[in-house]
Amino acid sequence: MNIVITILLTILVFGIIIFIHELGHFVMAKVNGVKVHEFALGMGPTLFHFGKGETTYAIRLLPIGGFVSMEGEDEESTDVRAFSRRPVWRRILIVIAGAVMNILLGFLVMVIVVCSQQYITSMEIAQFRDFATSNQQGGLQEGDVIQKIDGLRIYCDTDFFYAMDRNKPAGEQSTVTLDGEEVPAVTRSYDIQVKRNGETLLLEDVKITMTSNAVDLLVKAQEKTVFGVLKEGVDKTISTARLVWLSLGDLIRGAAGLNDLSGPVGVAQVVGEASTMGVTTFLTLVAFITINVGIFNLLPLPALDGGRLVFLVIEGIRRKPVPPKYEGYIHAVGLILLLILMVVITFNDVFKLFQ
């Protein structure tokens, strides 16, 4: 039964995210006077559909995507309302609208998460734990506001913990006393930029000790205000969006591998785990997924919105479009490669389940 609930919950989460994405394309197409033939959720055979005006609205069998079919999107058309006959800047708005809607949804969910918290977490050091002598030796002081760690801009606590684990060796192993218990810990060195009394300082080789669920410093909590909640929502959204680019960079330079990627099976497993850890954890994951979908779609890869955006930018520079058939070939090849990658990642997800 838990497996069934996890699958249904995953389909629901992705269904909402895909709907919001395609709704962005659909609304922006309508606003810009483009004829829309079909608005569909899912792929494959049609399960249910109805027509309203010139558009067919459909639910398809396979819950693995969706699409908005526009006149003149992938072929030549003489219709004055064809996508291809709209000015380049209008087509750019239509192409990026889906990703923008995903990011906006992520921001709204992040705001809800922040509202559910008792306080807003700042990056100002409030105090050090008892095992934090290494911090004081490294130059950190209470009242310092952490700005960067090893060159990575720190917007919120998510960035802080990401920077702690990113590209770091095993570190110096030890045990520390936490809440009256001896627990394993690791100490690593970082270059930390802080703001202290209005001055920006770079502290080199600062040693930070951490356990599996705690670090040797505590940051100051702030009272919630409308502005503070919105700022925290923006910071967390920026942080999550940036993780996509950072992770892609890690893949390119070999710092991350195939085992660090997750497809539908891996995501479904995480969704199931998050659903048992409370509403806040679950909503945080939903925000993470929808922001990732938005940013990933903007990558300049064939078959993605970002790939279409590249062709529109080229058209804007050249003052004439790339022939649709050639663009279609490139997107088709890109789609095939993406599907192959998805199959490989899914196989790897299944393999990891049995490890």
> Between helices 88-116 and 2-31, what is the axis angle to 10°?
140
Residue owning tokens 């892609």: 248
b/e 89-114 (16+ beta carbons within 10 angstroms → b): ebbbbbbbbbbbbbbbbbbebbbbbb
Beta bridge partners of 181: 178
Amino acid type, 12? L
Please list the residues that pair with 189 across neighbouring strands: 207
* Residue of 22, 71, 73, 232 marked active site: 22
Residue 281 amino acid letter: T
Query: Is the CA virtual torsion 168, 170, 171, 176 positive or negative?
Result: positive
Instruction: Report DSSP state, residue 54.
Output: T
Q: Residue 343 burial (CB < 10 Å; 0-12/13-18/19+)? A: exposed
**Residues in contact with 231: Cβ distance below 8 Å, sequence separation at least 6, in sequence order:** none
- Asked if 38 and 69 count as a contact pair (C-beta separation under 8 A), the reply is yes
Angle between helix axes 2-31 and 279-297 (nearest 10 degrees) is 50
Q: Are 328 and 74 in contact (CB under 8 A)?
A: yes
The helix (run of H) or strand (run of E) holding residue 62 is strand 55-70
Question: Coil, strand or helix: which one is 41?
Answer: strand
Backbone angles phi, psi at 263, to 5 degrees: -105, -160
CA distance 268 to 263: 8
22 is catalytic: yes
CA distance 280 to 117: 9
Catalytic residues: 22
